[in-house]
Structures are given as structure tokens and as C-alpha cells.
Structure 1
Amino acid sequence: MANAASGMAVHDDCKLTFLELKTKRTHRFIVFKIEEKQKQVVVEKVGEPTQSYEDFAESLPADECRYAVYDFDFVTEENCQKSRIFFIAWSPDTARVRSKMIYASSKDRFKRELDGIQIELQATDPTEMELDVIKSRAN
């Protein structure tokens, strides 16, 4: 079903891969890309559960927009093991204006397809999604 605002559809793989991350924890992160020619959001890259946050951050292109989901594990002050699912809208300043507009107009609709996102981050440069930012938002 295409989004009226941007005309973007969401490929079934996006929802299935997200469900695997959320329920089976078979992935640490997922990077999604909008295929402009097909007018749909597709899975570009999936991270193994053993991969680090640095691996995830490095998988985002420096000058192109992406959506990403990251499963962040942490320990609370009460020493409880917890996990939060982050949705990150990566829109670097160096990306094409058209690309930024397409990603911005499709974001809410795409995010609604992924049931179970707990925290959303908008990042235009790597410092806005550093591990310290993730940790502070998770608590």
C-alpha cells in the first residue's frame, strides 16, 4: 500500500525482518533504504546479534539518507537487563535535498508499519546518534 504523501510502499521483507529483530532477536540492527525507482522501502543491510553499535553506525552511508532500527541492550541503575528498540531517521546534511524530502515525507507511515519501536531519533550527523545519546535516551 503506497503512502499518499510520498507514494512509497513498504516491502514485506521490512516488516518480517523487523519482527525477527523484535521477537527472536536474530538481528542487532536493520538498515532500510528507499528504492526511488520501485517507490518502496526495502531492507538494505542486517546486522548480526554479535555486531556492535560502531558496526551499525559505520553501515550508514555518509551522504545518503536511510531509516534504521537498532536493538539496544543495557543495564539499568537497578541492575536489570533491558532492551530498547530505536528507530533512527538518518538524514545527513550532505544528502541530496530530494532524498531528504522523500525520507522525511515517508517516515511516519513507514514507522507505523514497524510495530514495537520504543524510541525515535532524528540524526543529521554522526554526533547526534553517538552511543552516549542512545544510552541517555534509553533510560
Structure 2
Amino acid sequence: MVHHFLHTKANAASGMAVHDDCKLKFLELKAKRTYRFIVYKIEEKQKQVIVEKLGEPAQSYEDFTASLPADECRYAVYDFDFMTAENVQKSRIFFIAWVRSKMIYASSKDRFKRELDGIQVELQATDPTEMDLDVIKSRAS
């Protein structure tokens, strides 16, 4: 009963609930590097953010961008590996807001991002060129 009350309260503040799975999968990506990326979508009927797609560690950035729908919004997290100028292997966790048109994604983005503790870089893209690999590389370092 208490849990339900908290849930409703959080809901009232933003109008958007976050499914527990969203955080659990993110923690796995962050701690164990179980996934290369996670794509989240807003279930508008339930008014909650859910996990839509999980990318295997071996999947590429192209696989990731291919899984974003051309005409709908999504949130995503991408674990980007890169070499620094000193040849040190590093990784950065990106939060990507793929915003096509809908205000609902723009208005609940900050609250959803706060739920994912460990985001290192945020990127907002309204078309594919705004999140191509060169952009990711320049923002990572």
C-alpha cells in the first residue's frame, strides 16, 4: 500500500511514471556493461517510461541508431567506448533524447534522466546528423 502511494505521488509531480525495469537495466549497463545501449519509450496509455530495446555489447553505434524510429520520439542510453589521444581506453555513458515532435518527451526528459544515476553526457537530437558518430566522439572526450 505504501509503495502504491509513493508511486502515485511521484506520478502527480511529472505526469510520468518510470517502470522499475528502466533503472534496473541501466544499472546493469553501468555496472556490468551487460548492454551496449537501451532504448526507452513512453507508453502513453499507461503514462510511463518502459524499456523498448536492449542492445547486446557487440552491437555497433549503427545498430543503435537504426533502432530509433524515424517518426517517433525515444530516450536512449548508449555506452560509448573510445581511445583518448593518449591511447587510453575510456567509456562514456550518453543519454540521448531523440525528439521528433512530441512535447511529452521534452517535458519529462529531465525527470527521467535523473532516475538514471550515472549519465555522463547528454545529447539531444532532432535528426540523425545531430547524433552521428563524429558528434558522439567529440562530446565524449
TM normalised by structure 2 equals 0.92
SS at structure 1 position matched to 2:94: strand
Q: What corresponds to 1:65 in structure 2?
A: 73
Q: What corresponds to 1:8 in structure 2?
A: 16
**Percent identity over paired residues:** 83
Q: What corresponds to 1:28 in structure 2?
A: 36
Q: Could you tell me which runs of 5 or more consecutive residues in structure 2 were left unpaired when the two chains were aligned.
A: 1-9
Q: CA RMSD in A?
A: 0.8
| 8 Å contact from structure 1 (residues 3, 109) kept in 2 | no
Is 1:56 the equivalent of 2:56? Answer: no
Q: Could you tell me which runs of 5 or more consecutive residues in structure 1 were left unpaired when the two chains were aligned.
A: none
SS at structure 1 position matched to 2:54: strand
Instruction: Return the alpha-carbon distance in structure 2 between the equivalents of residues 53 and 87 of structure 1.
Output: 14
- Which string of whole-angstrom CA distances, capped at 9 and with x for unpartnered residues, describes residues 75-130 of structure 1? 000110000000000012xx4xxxx1100110000000000000000000000000
Structure 1 runs of 4+ with >4 Å offset: none
Of Structure 1 and Structure 2, the greater helix share is in 2
How far is 1:4 from its partner?
A: 1.9
Instruction: Return the alpha-carbon distance in structure 2 between the equivalents of residues 56 and 138 of structure 1.
Output: 17
SS at structure 1 position matched to 2:68: coil
Q: What corresponds to 2:126 in structure 1?
A: 124
- Which string of whole-angstrom CA distances, capped at 9 and with x for unpartnered residues, describes residues 5-45 of structure 1? 4x100000000000000000000000000001001000000
Q: What corresponds to 1:19 in structure 2?
A: 27
- Which string of whole-angstrom CA distances, capped at 9 and with x for unpartnered residues, describes residues 36-75 of structure 1? 1001000000000000000000000000000000000000
Which structure ranks higher in relative contact order (CA pairs < 8 Å, sequence separation ≥ 6)? 1
TM normalised by structure 1 equals 0.93
SS at structure 2 position matched to 1:71: strand
SS at structure 2 position matched to 1:133: helix
How many matched pairs? 132
